Chains A and B, each alone.
Chain A
Amino acid sequence: MSHWVRTLSRVLYVDLARKRYWIEDREDLFSRWLGGIGVAAQLYKEEVPRGADPLGPENAIIFAVGPLTGVFPMASKTVAAFKSPLNGYFAESHAGGRSALAIRFAGYGAIVIRSVSERPVYLVIEHDRVRFKDASALWGVRSAETVGRILRETTPGAGMRSILRIGGAGEKLVRYAMVMVETFRHFGRMGLGAVFGSKKLKAIVVAPEKVHRFPDMRRYRDIYQRIYDLTKGPKTKKYHDLGTAENVLVLNAIGALPTKNFSSGRFDGAEEISGEALVENVLARRVACSACPVACIHLAAIREEYEDERFMYKTEFISYDYEPIYALGTNLGVRDRFGLLKLFKAVEDWGLDAISTGVVLAWATEALERGLITKFETLVDLRWGDWRGYLAAIENIVRQPNEFYKVLAMGVEEAARRYGGEDFAMAFNRVEPAGYLTGPLFFISLAIGFRHSHLDSGAYSLDQKIFSSAEELPSPREAAQRIIEEEAWRQILTSLVLCLFARGVYDENLVSEALRSLGYDYSPEDLKRLGREIYFEKQRLKWEEGFRASSLRIPRRIIETPTPLGRISREYLEEALKEFDDLIGKSSST
């Protein structure tokens, strides 16, 4: 096997209860499962017993990178695997920033964090040591941004290190709390922030200082040049130009832009908060994750006068992307650009997942409108488009001043169970959806996904292709198969670990060649086979804990609101989910 695998195979184990750490050589895993999600799923299987409480000592946090991390453009992501406190199943979340290269060049392929610390702690991880630092002074610092500012001053590795941390939401165990990475990148979905909080783990700093010698420089440099040129070309142009916010007008035009809690696919304020309008009015800077020429991170400036002192101004920056525009913009009826950016800033500081927060607030707005709850519960007025009310509600989700907000902090599924309104409580397998009202395939993919990201299988794009080519819907079984097939290939991309915005560049031939330059021997067919294996390994982890797609609650709202592919039929969805269970069940029993 390649010498490159050996440089990747060091796994760092950290026990938060005993304040001990050790390093194991896990070439067995990295030579069999590549890296990234492939290895993380196996480590999860070893670490987290069935029935483990997601917020208890048995849950583990696993970070993993892969063979291409830091050596090819856009191989810039870290995979996190853990049991989700939102739905109680194996889950994953991916983030960029400096995290992936920091872990790789600190000399690790994966990091496993076990058990629970007695008191607040943060970790400083270097090549040969881990320091357990007392975080009592940082605990209670509610802004994740401030935590980063403090740690920038007090920890080593400036310019190359990665700083992962939680804000108030993670400490208060909001089930959809995120982990902030550097600034403006996140392990956003599935509640990793709450898992950090439950472990009393405020932050992790990873300082890289290692280099690895390439096995075959000539081969490697040639293919590097080719990939570099491709990543600067048309296949990533969208992310470079307007960024993901380009989707606002595209989806609005076809009626697939979730609006006011998915009650419509068109938003009359879309122009004002479109990617085009944001570039024109507020875009202040673009930044990139390490090793990425695209720089998709679009930062907006929020210039603001202090309310209590005239002529006193501040300018803050916040990143924007399509998903938060949907969740905190269109889905809440917010069309005011300034207000929208303030909402982004609020979830960023408190350390919340933007998507879940927006969907929870959309449910609360509608529940208030319909009289299921009153202002006695909400404490503030929640009205479509009124961003000031939402700003106050976001703070309440973290501070949890009453029973209602304690329940909101558990997610929309729990809120509807307690207060009613399940028909319009938008969740799939207890997780609030990403922002595409494109058609049935997307919702099927959410029901069966692991990240609950639109990028799981890109099924929104399968819907859009059916729409634009005026094809018939595939049979329910074929729909399930198509989604599985696409997601299976993405297991390879996320084992390497590539950013999925590079998926148009890295096809199976190129991946095979890139790996070959590092001494690996995988044919395109081998890779596809491995992708399927990883996919089914992951599904089995859920299956064994009782997950059955066909028993999920399907919110009535999605069969009422028309999509570009017409009204979605409940029977079609149910049939597809049954077919899915059938496919997974067969693979799990062999």
Chain B
Amino acid sequence: MLRVICLVKRIAVLDANRCVGCQLCMLACSRRLGFAGYEKSAIRVRSAGGVERGFTVIVCRACSDPPCARVCPEDALIPRPGGGVILKPERCNGCGHCAEACDIGAIWMDGESGKPIICVYCGYCVQFCPHKVIMLQEVEAV
């Protein structure tokens, strides 16, 4: 049997209950691209209906059969071997079908470029999580 050695990474949410809602991950993701603010971030944190109920952390989970890629009319989202997608921005027409197709709501449209914000699985956000909520993990082979 052929075994693919899988070294593909993704951002895993280990325990959202530890999240304090500081949003340093979001700010880190925007910073990576040279921006101050939230809007460029590919990871989002929001309260689960008031901070006393804790937080929800939303980030691409690197599906092995990504629906966002399947609905893209321009083949701008290329499935990554092992899971997840890679955005080819020059092909993207900004239709937003990918954002609608993502069942976990982990794709947002960038108001400036009109194109989707897609996690690149770099793990920069993880370096600035002070409470071990997220980690950079190898995608588990199915």
Contacts and interface: CB of A to CB of B under 8 A. Distances in A.
Contacts of A211: 30, 35-40, 112
B1 to A, nearest CB: 45
A293 B24 contact: yes
Given A70-B27, A183-B52, A232-B130, A291 B37 contact: no
Interface stretch (A83-91, A265-273, A282-290, A330-338): A282-290
Interface string B48-80: 011110100000000000000000000000000
Interface of B: 20-24, 27, 30-31, 34-40, 44-47, 49-52, 54, 111-112, 128, 130-131
Contact of B52 (A71, A160, A288, A317): A317
By size class, the interface of chain A is: 35 or more
A184 B51 contact: yes
Given A159-B47, A184-B51, 19 more contacts: A71-B36, A101-B38, A104-B36, A148-B50, A152-B49, A184-B52, A214-B31, A217-B34, A220-B31, A224-B31, A228-B128, A286-B20, A288-B20, A290-B22, A290-B23, A291-B23, A293-B131, A295-B20, A299-B51
Nearest to A159: B46
A200 to B, nearest CB: 26
Given A211-B40, A288-B20, A221 B31 contact: yes
Given A149-B50, A292-B22, A293-B24, A159 B36 contact: no
Interface in A287-310: 287-293, 295, 297, 299
Interface string A313-341: 00011000000000000000000000000
14 contacts: A105-B36, A159-B46, A184-B51, A208-B39, A209-B39, A211-B40, A285-B54, A290-B21, A290-B23, A291-B23, A291-B24, A292-B22, A293-B24, A293-B128
A210 interface: yes
Interface string A97-137: 00001001100000000000000000000000000000000
With most chain B CB atoms within 10 A of its CB, the pick from A208, A221, A224, A285 is A285
Contacts of A220: 31
Nearest to B37: A211
Contacts of A214: 31, 34-36
B23 A183 contact: no
B52 A70 contact: no
A288 B27 contact: no
Contacts, number: 95
B71 to A, nearest CB: 24
B21 A160 contact: no
Contacts of B111: 209
Interface in A156-193: 158-160, 182-184
A87 to B, nearest CB: 32
Contacts of B27: 70-71, 291
A183 B39 contact: no
Contacts of B51: 182-184, 287, 299
Contacts of A288: 20-22
A73 interface: yes
A213 B22 contact: no
Contacts of B130: 232, 293, 295
A214 B39 CA distance: 14
B37 A105 contact: yes
Given A159-B46, A182-B51, A183-B50, A212 B22 contact: no
Contacts of A285: 52, 54
Contacts of B40: 211
A360 B136 CA distance: 53
A551 to B, nearest CB: 44
B21 A213 contact: no
A292 B30 CA distance: 16
Query: Would you list the 3 A-B pairs with minimal beta carbon distance, nearest first?
Result: A159-B46, A211-B37, A317-B52
Contact of A73 (B24, B34, B35, B50): B24
B45 A159 contact: yes
